[in-house]
Chain A
Amino acid sequence: MNLRAHATPRSLFTFAVLALCALMPFIAPAIGQDYYVDVFIRIMIWAIAAVSLNLILGYGGMVSFGHAMFLGLGAYTVGILSYYEIYSAFIQWPLALLIGAVVSLGVGAICLRTKGVYFIMITLAFAQMIYFLGVSADEYGSDDGLIIDERSQLGGVLDLDDGLTFYYVVFAFLLLSLFIVKRLVNARFGMVIKGIRSNEDRMQAIGFPTYRYKLACFVIAGVLGTLAGILFANFEKFISPDMMYWTRSGEMIFMVVLGGMGSLFGPVSGAVVYLFLSEFLSNITEQWHIIFGPFLILVVIFARGGIDGLLGGKRRHHG
């Protein structure tokens, strides 16, 4: 990419954030704030989750309020397999992604029959089902969760227990997710998805059987979300139902909206700002939600288009 050719505020910002992600393992020790490395890993994992949600929410206009379920599926597959001492990533990861695909196919097939508020609520309901499945799984710690002894083993190729290696694996997956979404939305498939958001009736009238395209989009987003869950479990070395509680889905929606719906990099900016803001506010007061709640409302009411909009990205009416 020739940066100088399109040096808009938007591309500069994207470049700056990615550069910060790339260099943080060196910046953090230099400024004596080593824990920033962990903060950034967390940011990048949430960013992957938000990027995947953006595919259905931002580009496809499907307001899913249950995306945290995929985070949970990925994390629990890794956690449960390692509970049985199956640590190989070559078993854990494909299996997790497969489960993510199968569940998103089933859930999507049912949810996408509904529209509007019904869709919001039924996705929420499915996420709650999976959440309660986790809560009632006594064998795997119920509410208290499960500690994972070892990170996924990549058979000597890479050692995820090495902090630096793990950091760059997460970073690479973030770049990969962004690349995948970029290709998708600019391909024929992406045109269809964006067309459905804009006007689904018209899409059907010009000859698109929209249901199957929405379902495909839902599955792809589900699988990417599951990937975030895999990384999450490996990072925290801990899983609990809390990571798929419905407020998590709400937070993810906020990241997407804050960053800018349907902009490629928006969800990453959203994740950065959200996690830093929560870090910052929770240092001021334990009851930081009393500031954050109204902030969220103000963002919704006034900052349409999110960070991407502020940076001059094209404003979208999400309605």
Chain B
Amino acid sequence: MAEPLLSVKGLAKRFGGVNATSDLHLDVMPGEIHAVIGPNGAGKTTLIAQLSGMLKPDQGTIVFDGADITRLSAAARSKRGLARSFQVTSVFRDFTATDNVVLSIQAHSGHSFRFWQPVRKETELYDAARRVLDQVGLKDRAGELAGVLSHGEQRRLEIAMALATGPKLLLLDEPLAGMGPEDSARMARFLGTLKGRYTILLIEHDMDVVFALADRITVLDYGQAIASGTPEEIHADPEVRRAYLGEDSLDEEGGATGC
């Protein structure tokens, strides 16, 4: 059996008296889309923060691509190929869409202690940025300031910035957050195109999307993984129904699983 790309063992994080993460175990295999679901406050965002290095866990280890990264900074993790998107859109609002992506690429092509040469002359950065923007369907908006893009466009730029770092693993924190039906459908289609090409850890509230895309699903409750398995297994798991989905909501929401 292949080695997991990301392996979380015994992760724990407390805030005051609250266990945001407690003895969490999680494996993400290469090439899979692994969804993490759970009710609000289950600790999904805290988990992403610890995986990406913005929060230091109290206990446990995070092994990524064969190396223990538990104590590494966010920047160092990004250098090793771990990229994240943010639930709350977190683009550089006073930069153009292109420059947002250029920054991501720049971070991964040598150091930036270059004080003299105008960055505009590094055409390979801009060519690469254009390709990424094309991929997320923002080519026509490349010259706009990120702050004036629509919400849906900003969400796509958000993902473009993560993709542009050339990641081995993508941590997507609710990519559909705050989107209308049209934008959601578009984003879901786009995420579908990433399937098989990227290893993804996906946090998402939209169950239709989760059950349609995920190879495996882990269910969090009170900071713990209470179940992990294929969408079918999760769908059938009585404990998951009780703890999270409510008695009948799974039938409604999961109804779209087949499509």
**Do A and B touch, yes or no (CB under 8 Å, in the complex)?**
yes
Contact surface of A with B, Cβ cutoff 8 Å: 183-184, 186-192, 194-195, 198-199, 201-210, 213, 216, 316-317
A208 vs B84: C-alpha distance in the bound complex, in angstroms?
14
**A204→B112 contact, CB < 8 A:** no
Chain B residues positioned under 8 Å from A186 (CB to CB):
118-120
B residues 69-108 in Cβ contact with A at 8 Å: 73-76, 78-79, 83-84, 86, 90-95, 99, 102-104, 106-108
With A188-B106, A188-B114 already in contact, the answer to whether A199 and B74 are too (CB < 8 A) is: no
A186 vs B120: C-alpha distance in the bound complex, in angstroms?
8
Give 5 A-B contacts (CB < 8 Å), ordered by A residue: A191-B119, A204-B78, A205-B83, A205-B86, A208-B75
| Residue B200 CB within 8 A of the other chain | no
Chain A residues positioned under 8 Å from B102 (CB to CB):
191
With A209-B76, A210-B75 already in contact, the answer to whether A189 and B94 are too (CB < 8 A) is: no
With A187-B116, A191-B106 already in contact, the answer to whether A209 and B94 are too (CB < 8 A) is: no
Q: CB within 8 A of B93: which of A183, A198, A213? A: A198
A198 vs B53: C-alpha distance in the bound complex, in angstroms?
20
| Residue B161 CB within 8 A of the other chain | yes
**B93→A189 contact, CB < 8 A:** no
Q: How large is the interface on B (under 10, 10 to 19, 20 to 34, 35 or more residues)?
A: 35 or more
| Residue B115 CB within 8 A of the other chain | yes
Q: What is the interface of chain A mostly: helix, strand, loop, or mixed?
A: helix
Chain A residues positioned under 8 Å from B79 (CB to CB):
207
Chain B residues positioned under 8 Å from A209 (CB to CB):
73, 75-76
B 36-74 to A, binary, CB cutoff 8 A, 1 in contact else 0: 000000000000000011100000000000000000011
**A194→B113 contact, CB < 8 A:** no
Most buried by A among B95, B107, B120: B107
**A316→B75 contact, CB < 8 A:** no
A201 vs B158: C-alpha distance in the bound complex, in angstroms?
13
Chain A residues positioned under 8 Å from B115 (CB to CB):
183-184, 187, 189
Shortest B135–chain A CB gap in Å is 17
B 106-136 to A, binary, CB cutoff 8 A, 1 in contact else 0: 1110001111111110100000000000000
The 5 A-B pairs of least Cβ separation, nearest first, read A207-B78, A207-B107, A204-B74, A198-B92, A188-B112
| Chain A, residue nearest B114 (CB) | A188
| Chain A, residue nearest B103 (CB) | A195
Shortest B23–chain A CB gap in Å is 26
A207 vs B119: C-alpha distance in the bound complex, in angstroms?
18
A189 vs B86: C-alpha distance in the bound complex, in angstroms?
25
A195 vs B120: C-alpha distance in the bound complex, in angstroms?
15
Chain B residues positioned under 8 Å from A210 (CB to CB):
75
